[in-house]
């Protein structure tokens, strides 16, 4: 297929669409995926194992303290020939290697666009990719694996930009309104009170659980219960304590972010940058946007970095 002009990703898409088991499924790994990937196809096409040879030393760890792998040059490989039956000839294998080398040297560097790393498919959560030939963003999973895994929904960059700029301009008008600032403060106080009450309940649960653990430890010291009894009773308590402490950490992060005046100052700083640039750019976009999702309805759902302020736009 590759020698006939079909690329790695196209081959992978065909195999996924035809339900050919992926290597991870064949190997029965714990985390299996039904998808074939272009990188897998490339690995197979460049692997001399299929020539009937055993090759060692193709990769190594970056260092004794780092687990990441690095590829070694071909001259450092240890090759033991004819250790098993070949399924491809040396001639065809070399033709493939030559074609891969020529194509590699002509592949242009991937370009990022304004909403790269911010735009995601609402249906499958995959990143959306920019297609310059159509001047649209498209679901990355559909682009890579076809309509079997997601739908062909797209959106033009100018539609997103128009929505973002409209929201920013509305937000600017809101922060100049004294009544709106007061409403933001009231909403902030209500949220703060509610979350503080949740936090106190969790702290009470943690205190009671720690007290209960001390009680079991005292019983163990007195010989009233065995070590196995103690382990059995406290194991569940420890599991609950971990869960509650994780919730407390998340609540603390939210509470620390409940500063409306700080949020408004950050927004004003971002807006000044936007005003100086006269447009949305890769530099000022992160000042406003957390994430954008687009589904089949092609309506962008925008999550901003200023939840209190932008919640008033809806």
Position 99 confidence tier, pLDDT thresholds 50, 70, 90: confident
Between 165 and 101, name the one with better pLDDT.
165
> Which backbone phi and psi does 185 adopt, to 5 degrees?
-65, -40
Mean pLDDT for the stretch of residues 34-44: 84
**What does the alpha-carbon distance between residue 90 and residue 120 come to, in Å, rounded to a whole number?**
43
Q: Whose structure tokens read 């509305």?
A: 170
Position 62 confidence tier, pLDDT thresholds 50, 70, 90: low
User: Which of 50-54, 92-96, 182-186, 208-212 is predicted least confidently?
Assistant: 182-186
Residue 109 has pLDDT above 70, yes or no: no
H-type helices in the chain, by residue range?
A: 8-17, 23-26, 38-45, 90-104, 140-145, 157-175, 178-222, 227-256, 260-277, 307-311
Q: What is the pLDDT of residues 73-95, one digit of tens each?
A: 878 888 888 888 888 888 888 88
User: Which of 20-34, 129-143, 223-237, 239-253 is predicted least confidently?
Assistant: 20-34
Between 185 and 77, name the one with better pLDDT.
77
Q: What domains lie within the chain, and their CATH numbers?
A: 8-104 (3.90.1750), 165-309 (no CATH)
Under 8 Å between Cβ of 138 and 298: no
Position 137 confidence tier, pLDDT thresholds 50, 70, 90: very high
**What does the alpha-carbon distance between residue 144 and residue 146 come to, in Å, rounded to a whole number?**
6
Position 67 confidence tier, pLDDT thresholds 50, 70, 90: low
How many CB atoms neighbour CB 183 within 10 A? 14
pLDDT at 103: 77
Under 8 Å between Cβ of 2 and 96: yes
Residue 165 three-state SS: helix
């Amino acid at each position: 297929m590759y020698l006939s002009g079909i690329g790695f990703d196209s081959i992978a898409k065909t195999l996924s669409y035809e339900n050919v088991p992926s290597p991870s499924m064949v190997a029965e790994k714990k985390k299996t995926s039904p998808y074939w990937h272009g990188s897998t196809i490339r690995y197979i096409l460049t692997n001399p194992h299929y020539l009937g040879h055993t090759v060692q030393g193709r990769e190594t760890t970056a260092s004794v303290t780092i687990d990441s792998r690095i590829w070694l040059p071909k001259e450092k490989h240890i090759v033991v020939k004819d250790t098993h039956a070949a399924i491809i000839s040396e001639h065809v294998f070399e033709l493939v290697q030559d074609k891969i080398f020529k194509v590699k040297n002509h592949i242009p560097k991937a370009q990022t666009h304004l909403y790269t790393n911010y735009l995601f498919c609402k249906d499958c959560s995959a990143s959306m990719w920019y297609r310059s030939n159509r001047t649209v963003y498209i679901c990355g999973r559909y682009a890579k694996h076809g309509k079997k895994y997601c739908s062909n929904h797209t959106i033009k960059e100018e539609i997103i930009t128009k929505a973002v700029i409209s929201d920013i301009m509305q937000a600017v008008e809101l922060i100049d309104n004294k009544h709106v600032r007061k409403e933001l403060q009231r909403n902030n106080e209500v949220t703060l009170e509610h979350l503080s009450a949740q936090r106190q309940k969790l702290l009470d649960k943690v205190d009671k659980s720690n007290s209960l653990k001390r009680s079991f430890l005292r019983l163990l010291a007195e010989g009233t219960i065995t070590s196995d009894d103690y382990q059995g009773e406290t194991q569940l308590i420890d599991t609950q304590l971990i869960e509650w402490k994780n919730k407390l950490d998340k609540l603390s992060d939210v509470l620390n972010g409940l500063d409306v005046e700080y949020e408004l100052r950050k927004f004003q700083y971002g807006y000044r940058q936007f005003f100086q640039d006269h447009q949305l750019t890769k530099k000022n976009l992160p000042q406003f946007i957390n994430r954008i999702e687009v589904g089949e309805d092609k309506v962008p759902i925008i999550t901003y970095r200023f939840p209190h302020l932008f919640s008033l736009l809806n």
